Structure 1
């Protein structure tokens, strides 16, 4: 599937790629290395990462200057593209302003503009995560004139965007992983080990997880835990608070820190179950990676989690902020290796059928093909 004149669809992919880490960087890497997309799409990467540590969207002269510079770069690249695909968190205000500048520059250059919103806050659908101010709401409405199409990663995010920006063309496109790159683990191995992959932060439910493990210890249920992730997204002060909480607990927890992708894959393969008790999320790629690894997953009912994970089939879905419910779900898996094996197999099958890269590739090709004709001017030559 290519452009109407038979050539590949020229797409400028804009966002924070490596050395940045996180969901957006992983998503972009998936697109750039996908063989199906590679046959039909001519990608050009416009990487707006300037350092490995993120500045948390703060307003500063330097950040504003960078945003303007990136918009100019985007305009120049868009003049030779069919589609510009912008990855964004869209909040707080500075990322929104940056996204509007990038999308507006691309549209001014004559490209079709796709704005892809990855924010866990917005996509979670939870009031505790996303309470937009009136100025933010007014500014957000500019998306209707800067982007031809907006994508969310979870149905709650799509609903919120429709409510805040009437008339916006918006849809949900779920994340995906290369399922074939993950070797199935053996969930039935005893004694079981759990693995957590994510930022070391309060909003990922780390305090709840420690409390749940303490409850299990009180019940005489042994469960070791590997924690993969650091504090680069929230700052080392918050991460150190959690590290100290874990050390004081005396629980059998290994803090592995941030790991490169191949080491994350190895950590998943060495575990028997996966846990992510977030307070809010969009659609975490870590859950898909765990399912692709054949692990039963224990997650909270936020964002797209309940759509991806079928409670009692692929794993367990529990309320957020509830250590007791989390402990109960973990205990049911710790005590039953056959249940872990069955859920792990079902999780792998679900990842293969619904969240493998070919599924995402087909959807993105559809979006690119439709947007290739959205620009109102022919591509410019260099």
Structure 2
């Protein structure tokens, strides 16, 4: 089978699927902005495409997002046209539509089947919008109108997409019913063989101290430290947490940018804003027990979750972080926010402890419950790992499901482009 994969940051979500397709004998080509010249990666021929224009001036702010996607779609259409002239005729096209790249590919290959990675449809109703009253949407009561425009790219892809793939049921269910019926839920996969507990794990800190499983380590991990992932809730609980746990070492991992939601005031970061808010209530000796690692190599992240006694994961109702499932796979005992995407992965009292996102006192109590009860930590951590191995394991669950989805996609009658 001939397969074309489109992703501006290839391999992205196709890190495991693309090589698996190539390994079984499919001819796999990827089109991406990430390379500047053709290369071969794990059996996949990776080709560049190039943007030929930027955004226009004085564009309505609600249209800037779509215009960016349109620029990529136009560039991909041009590159795809040249590939067709060179003889490429894919049976299946796999694309993450989030950057608009796949919007016009059915115009080049109307006979191909287009499979879309369905990450999220932006819903205007609570709790998807207005979950955290401290950080309302940028447009106030007009926020549903802005989100409707933001979904324009999703809706146009519905017209040409033959089938969808979502990593979680929560994400699939954000999509409108007519397209949701064409979405298969199969997670990207967690390598539970590699992400496993290690009683000898060690985490070296810049201070010169090395943390091990013998230390009382509380961890908090996100791509960026920001409200969407509950950074403000955790930081506001930090002064009391340090007072209650005089032996605890608190380690936070995450960058200073903004991945989701509102941006901080110009020239500031959410990380520093909430440090400034709580720092006055924390003694210097206690602050020395708080460690911000920034962004780190993957092996260092694994060391972090392996030495954790209590791992805190907070999020709005949104895309579930890989880091949560990886922490579970490593056998960490977890306190997480009680929202729908988390409940899909964690059952309260069985594979972790859940707490209301805004309940600072409840968060503190549940973290302390883990720290004070080794048997509870052991039970929850073992059950969390078992659940991830059974439901999300890369080689035994997720990848076979993804390959089966590709094969079923290839048997569909392709939907033609729509005017």
Distance 2:354 2:315 in 1: 11
2:187 counterpart of 1:178? no
Comparing 363-372 and 300-309, the one that deviates more: 300-309
Distance 2:26 2:169 in 1: 27
Q: Secondary structure at the match of 2:347?
A: coil
For residues 1-382 of structure 1, the aligned pairs below 5 Å read 9-17=1-9, 25=12, 27-32=13-18, 38-39=23-24, 41-49=26-34, 58-59=64-65, 64-74=70-80, 79-88=88-97, 90=98, 95=99, 98=100, 101-106=101-106, 108-109=108-109, 110-119=111-120, 126-128=128-130, 132-133=144-145, 134-136=148-150, 140-163=154-177, 165=178, 169-186=182-199, 189-198=213-222, 199-220=224-245, 222-234=247-259, 237-245=269-277, 247-248=279-280, 250=282, 251=287, 252-358=289-395, 359-374=397-412, 376=414
Q: Secondary structure at the match of 1:177?
A: coil
Comparing 128-137 and 310-319, the one that deviates more: 128-137
After TM superposition, the score normalised by the length of structure 2 is: 0.71
* CA offsets 1:124-168 (integer angstroms, 9 cap, x no match): 9623369643445566433332211123333233233134x5685
Change in 2 beyond 3 A, CA 1:306/1:175? farther
The aligned residue for residue 208 of structure 2 is none
Distance 2:83 2:144 in 1: 32
Distance 1:200 1:318 in 2: 20
- Contact kept? 2:232, 2:274, Cα under 8 Å: yes
CA-CA distance at 1:352 after TM superposition = 1.2
* CA offsets 1:91-143 (integer angstroms, 9 cap, x no match): xxxx4xx1xx5143146413211111224966996233696434455664333
Distance 1:249 1:77 in 2: 61
Distance 1:277 1:167 in 2: 27
Higher helix share: 1
Structure 1 stretches of 5 or more lacking a match?
1-8, 19-23, 378-382
- Contact kept? 1:189, 1:272, Cα under 8 Å: yes
Distance 1:170 1:61 in 2: 26
Q: Secondary structure at the match of 1:227?
A: strand
What CA RMSD, in Å, does the superposition of the two structures yield over aligned residues?
3.6
Q: Secondary structure at the match of 2:96?
A: strand
After TM superposition, the score normalised by the length of structure 1 is: 0.77
- Contact kept? 2:188, 2:399, Cα under 8 Å: no
Distance 1:33 1:266 in 2: 27
Structure 2 stretches of 5 or more lacking a match?
37-54, 56-62, 132-136, 138-142, 202-211
- Contact kept? 2:189, 2:399, Cα under 8 Å: no
Q: Secondary structure at the match of 1:333?
A: helix
Change in 2 beyond 3 A, CA 1:296/1:167? closer
Give the structure with higher Rg (CA).
2
Change in 2 beyond 3 A, CA 1:344/1:142? same
Distance 1:84 1:200 in 2: 35
Q: Secondary structure at the match of 2:311?
A: strand
CA-CA distance at 1:220 after TM superposition = 4.8
- Contact kept? 1:85, 1:114, Cα under 8 Å: yes
- Contact kept? 1:298, 1:318, Cα under 8 Å: yes
Distance 1:322 1:352 in 2: 30
- Contact kept? 1:316, 1:329, Cα under 8 Å: yes
Q: Secondary structure at the match of 1:257?
A: coil
CA-CA distance at 1:293 after TM superposition = 1.0
- Contact kept? 1:282, 1:302, Cα under 8 Å: no
Q: Secondary structure at the match of 1:142?
A: helix
- Contact kept? 1:15, 1:87, Cα under 8 Å: yes
Q: Secondary structure at the match of 2:317?
A: coil
* CA offsets 1:73-104 (integer angstroms, 9 cap, x no match): 3565684322222124x4xxxx4xx1xx5143
CA-CA distance at 1:218 after TM superposition = 4.2
Distance 2:274 2:16 in 1: 31
- Contact kept? 1:275, 1:297, Cα under 8 Å: yes
How many residues are matched?
349
